[in-house]
């Protein structure tokens, strides 16, 4: 403790329950109290903190803004939480090479805000972008509405500076998309805080498009809405974003901060196209026709920027608005092949029926990335158990049609026990060997991603199954 205080200063080491309790949870429904929270200010301090924590045998849990939805930043095995919030500088922008260099605590939206005047933007745009950090985005390989056209975080990360388990500081990747040798930056992005702590990153910037058009399609059945998604991409249109909200979500949005979505619709699709004007007009016309053919009762394009922003405000605020319907909600993050959307959404409705839970769907439909949000009230005896079981049933349904356990939120703590549904023992061992090459003692984020921790000198083992006490 004295050592940590010497490195970062008294004010930046938290140990009292009243202080560390803020760090016991992220956006998921899992929680565990950290023993110590440390807030270093620069890479040298991060390195020294890691050395000191390792000497004392503590596991290390990196933390960005704590908006993760899979328990990734929850210190399940106790230990030292290292918050990167104070490393929050945009270090430089190189417009000629279209790159930005930044620290991990920079908030996602601040990157685009910082370069917008010069006509650029940072493409990965999680709906949490006003709060989540670049470090968390890199660790979770985060996506967002506009990653349908532009790809997820890994497609925009060129290089990362990382502090390893022994405190050494290394660069993975570089300043250009293709560097010789293994793509170690690619290995790091999406590793969910299990390989080291990222302390600096070089990311790609993109040129703002000449024209952006947004369209709202209103459907009387979920089946026709999901069919429209399949048909839009089959018609060769690549929207910049293709988002879906169901009736329950519409109700929440319209109760919270109304966006003008019709409350009686079963589903709405929000479609955006970007590019030169000739392209956007043609793509919008085609999308309009496809939605009508699929059964949309109304399709309307935003007439101006104000209307466009209002449509998006509803979508971006949809998760928060769910609080108007229930005190708690459990966000699922399955992904399925786009063509399987109609049948998967039917399966989600059946699961809601079977487990007697209310589900609000708001998701990146163009990517086949579902977010069924199971609404509940933690105070009702037995509710949490039912919700967890319903969540597992949804993910099983995704896997059954050739999908996966996560589209963007990561495996974290929440879904580690389900990894065996997708991967064989050999697969998991191969992944573990990659992990051990970076972090031989599993000092970083133990108990995350992998279902059954085995010894190999692990610092302090997290339990093999998520124990009761970790759910909220």
Ligand X SMILES: Cc1cc2nc3c(=O)[nH]c(=O)nc-3n(C[C@H](O)[C@H](O)[C@H](O)COP(=O)(O)OP(=O)(O)OC[C@H]3O[C@@H](n4cnc5c(N)ncnc54)[C@H](O)[C@@H]3O)c2cc1C
For binding to ligand X (CB under 6 A), which residues are involved? Answer: 26-27, 61-69, 72-73, 84, 104, 126-128, 132-133, 135-137, 139-140, 142-144, 192-193, 197-198, 319, 408-409, 412, 445
Q: Report the SS3 class of residue 146.
A: coil
294 membership: H or E segment, kind and range: helix 277-294
What is the Cα–Cα distance from 39 to 247, expressed in whole angstroms?
42
Task: Rank residues 243 and 251 by Cβ distance to ligand X and give the closer one.
Answer: 243
Q: Which two tokens stand for residue 184?
A: 């170690």
Using the structure block, give the residue that is written with the tokens 């805080």. 193
Task: Rank residues 99 and 133 by Cβ distance to ligand X and give the closer one.
Answer: 133
Task: Rank residues 301 and 405 by Cβ distance to ligand X and give the closer one.
Answer: 405
CB of 292 to ligand X, least distance (A): 28
Cβ-closest residue to ligand X?
136
CB of 361 to ligand X, least distance (A): 14
Residues 6+ apart with CB under 8 A from 181: none
Cα 86 to its chain centre, rounded Å, is 21
Task: Rank residues 114 and 317 by Cβ distance to ligand X and give the closer one.
Answer: 317
Residues 6+ apart with CB under 8 A from 117: none
* Total Cβ atoms within 10 A of residue 43: 18
Task: Rank residues 244 and 284 by Cβ distance to ligand X and give the closer one.
Answer: 244
Q: Which two tokens stand for residue 186?
A: 């690619």
Q: Which of 14, 34, 18 is nearest to 26 (CA)?
A: 34
Would you give the DSSP letter of residue 195? S
**DSSP letter string, 226-246:** HHHHHHHHHTT---SEEEEEE
Task: Rank residues 143 and 275 by Cβ distance to ligand X and give the closer one.
Answer: 143
Q: What b/e readout covers 52-69, taking b as 16+ CB neighbours within 10 angstroms? A: bbbeeebbbbbbbbbbbb
Q: Which of 128, 278, 147, 122 is nearest to 206 (CA)?
A: 122
Compute the radius of gyration of the chain from its Cα atoms: 22
CB of 335 to ligand X, least distance (A): 11
Q: Report the SS3 class of residue 269.
A: strand
What is the Cα–Cα distance from 162 to 128, expressed in whole angstroms?
24
Task: Rank residues 102 and 345 by Cβ distance to ligand X and give the closer one.
Answer: 102
């Amino acid at each position: 403790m004295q050592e940590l205080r010497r490195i970062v200063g008294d004010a930046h080491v938290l140990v009292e329950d009243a202080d560390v309790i803020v760090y016991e949870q992220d956006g998921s429904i899992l929680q565990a109290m950290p023993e110590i929270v440390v807030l270093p200010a620069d890479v040298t301090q991060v390195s020294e903190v890691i050395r000191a924590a390792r000497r004392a045998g503590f596991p290390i849990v990196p933390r960005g803004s704590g908006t993760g939805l899979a328990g990734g930043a929850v210190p399940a095995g106790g230990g030292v939480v290292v918050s990167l919030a104070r490393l929050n500088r945009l270090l430089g922008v190189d417009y000629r090479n279209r790159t930005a260099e930044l620290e991990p605590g920079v908030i996602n939206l601040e990157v685009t805000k910082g370069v917008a005047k010069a006509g650029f933007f940072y493409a990965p745009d999680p709906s949490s972008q006003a709060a989540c950090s670049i470090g968390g985005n890199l660790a979770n390989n985060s996506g967002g509405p506009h990653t349908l056209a532009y790809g997820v975080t890994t497609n925009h990360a060129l290089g990362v500076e990382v502090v390893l388990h022994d405190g050494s500081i290394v660069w993975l990747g570089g300043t250009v998309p293709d560097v010789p040798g293994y793509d170690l930056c690619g290995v790091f992005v999406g590793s969910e805080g299990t390989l080291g702590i990222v302390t600096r990153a070089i990311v790609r910037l993109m040129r703002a498009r000449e024209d952006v058009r947004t369209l709202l399609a209103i459907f009387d059945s979920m089946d026709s809405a999901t069919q429209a998604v399949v048909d839009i991409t089959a018609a060769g249109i690549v929207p910049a974003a293709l988002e879906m909200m169901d009736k329950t979500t519409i109700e929440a949005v319209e109760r919270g901060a109304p966006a003008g979505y019709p409350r009686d619709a079963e589903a709405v699709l929000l479609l955006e196209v970007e590019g030169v004007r000739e392209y956007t007009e043609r793509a919008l016309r085609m999308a309009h026709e496809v939605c009508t053919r699929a059964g949309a009762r109304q399709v309307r394009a935003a007439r101006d920027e104000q209307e466009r922003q209002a449509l998006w405000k509803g979508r971006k605020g949809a998760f928060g608005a769910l609080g108007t319907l229930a005190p708690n909600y459990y966000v699922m993050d399955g992904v399925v092949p786009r063509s399987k959307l109609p049948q998967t959404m039917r399966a989600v409705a059946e699961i809601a029926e079977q487990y007697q839970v209310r589900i609000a769907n708001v998701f990146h439909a163009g990517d086949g990335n579902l977010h069924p949000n199971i609404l509940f009230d933690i105070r009702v005896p037995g509710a949490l158990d039912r919700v967890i079981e319903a969540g597992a049933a949804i993910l099983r349904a995704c896997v059954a049609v050739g999908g996966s356990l996560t589209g963007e939120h990561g495996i974290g703590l929440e879904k580690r026990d389900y990894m065996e549904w997708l991967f064989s023992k050999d697969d998991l061992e191969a992944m573990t060997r990659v992990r051990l090459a970076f972090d031989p003692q599993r000092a970083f984020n133990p108990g995350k991603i992998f279902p059954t921790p085995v010894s190999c000198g692990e610092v302090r083992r997290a339990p093999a199954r998520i124990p009761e006490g970790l759910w909220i």
